[in-house]
Structure 1
């Protein structure tokens, strides 16, 4: 549980002016203070969230005793607290996350859910609780430090991810699709690809394993909570996240878990396709 704040924020703790999108969600707060009807939950009084079965620190790790720790679990605890619910987790393979929430077996999915149009067709997403940038991982002895250094080379990315969009936005590279990160990392180590794309915060763990980050791109991928289509819980989550932003609690949780990365208020923004991401790359890295 988050312990840096001595008490849950009350109405007097919120300043009257917010960005328009935050204010829109904040207006839901009155409804959020009402008890969550048992008809909206799998188990009365309990918020049952699904996660993947693997640890991915610093955002979400599962310890040996089954406890969920890191950025996402701390945000989830704060949301459950604001809704007056007890938090429970159910870990499962990634492929089972959406089928499980759509079958009504969990209340929501809270596990590295980058918002993508393809995913919006299957589930509803809350407003984002974080904006995450991406980076290119290379071997320590690689000369790659700029997107132009990758021209004519092979770059790996996981299929159907925001990372794939960035790979496709790089000029002159051959994009290689992967189903698993482990296989992609093995190919990078063996020289089958020159680089791979992943969210920047996950790549720090490889700095002492023969790899380094070549460069990062401010793609600001939106991470959000996924719920079943039409679920009334989406608005309840939206209101709770807006409260965490307005009170400063979300920023405090971010800084506690990933202090090396600047917190940006996670306002919703339109989905960015390959052309938009290519523009970001060009603006960030002028021609050499």
Structure 2
């Protein structure tokens, strides 16, 4: 009887482990720093934005459910490598430096670094006018190293959140902010006192980041992205968040 009970317990334990593993297979743990509208931000207590909608659409295509993880932007790549989550989706540029440590899906949107200035600042007309100026940037983003390498006389003011860059610009603590064009354009639309310089700093591609040991999942993401482009869902999301002309 004791042997039977022990065997039964062992079988039950294996069944529970298998069920747990199966449940885990149905879950996508996705990390984001939801402070970068219109790609990801919080509205009425809920995450929303282009990246959020696109990840949810991909998960639906893959018959998975999303478990969101909120984290500062600078922690996305380290957290991914440390297996804290499966995917990083937060307006991440597909840079060569990042490709050394993580894989990316096919690009899902084009962006680039842009300069945001106040409209009453006539001395800032092109990126060249940033020389010697105070410019706010978000830590962990390409903006930091790009300014270091290409605009060494710029006085960088590094902050943790995207919104903090804009706040410093609005209260005149800095002369400009450098961030991704989608976020810069979105903020300029909401605040008539600022504008985005016509000439951008870079052209970049956004991709979802995954670990290098998750080749199968990366392939599944690429296939799902192609499905969403084919069935029209992707185009609808682009029109929703960026306008029909995109």
* Distance (whole Å) between structure 2 residues aligned to residue 130 and residue 187 of structure 1: 28
Residue 243 of structure 2, aligned match among 259, 270, 273: 259
Q: Does structure 1 retain, via aligned residues, the 8 Å contact 2:74–2:141? A: no
Q: Deviations over 1:242-280 (max 9, x none)?
A: 2222333212211111217x43xxxxxxxxxxxxxxxxx
Equivalent residue runs for 1:59-138 within 5 Å: 59-65=39-45, 67-138=46-117
- State the 1:118 CA deviation: 2.4
Residue in structure 2 matched with residue 202 of structure 1 by the alignment: 183
Q: Scaled by the length of structure 1, what TM-score is found? A: 0.64
Q: Does structure 2 retain, via aligned residues, the 8 Å contact 1:108–1:227? A: yes
Q: Does structure 1 retain, via aligned residues, the 8 Å contact 2:73–2:140? A: no
* Distance (whole Å) between structure 2 residues aligned to residue 69 and residue 87 of structure 1: 13
Equivalent residue runs for 1:146-225 within 5 Å: 146-164=126-144, 167=147, 174=154, 176=156, 178-180=158-160, 181=162, 184-185=165-166, 188-189=169-170, 193-203=174-184, 204-206=186-188, 208=191, 210-217=193-200, 219-225=202-208
Residue in structure 1 matched with residue 6 of structure 2 by the alignment: none
- State the 1:121 CA deviation: 2.4
| Count of equivalent residues | 223
Q: Scaled by the length of structure 2, what TM-score is found? A: 0.74
Structure 2: segments with no counterpart, 5+ residues:
1-18
* Distance (whole Å) between structure 2 residues aligned to residue 185 and residue 63 of structure 1: 18
SS in 1 for 2:221: helix
Larger Rg, first or second structure (1 or 2): 2
Residue 25 of structure 2, aligned match among 44, 69, 86: 44
Structure 1: segments with no counterpart, 5+ residues:
1-37, 264-288
* Distance (whole Å) between structure 1 residues aligned to residue 154 and residue 126 of structure 2: 16
Q: Deviations over 1:119-166 (max 9, x none)?
A: 222221111111113321112310122234445544443455333465
CA RMSD of aligned residues (A): 3.2
Which structure has more helix as a fraction of its residues?
A: 2
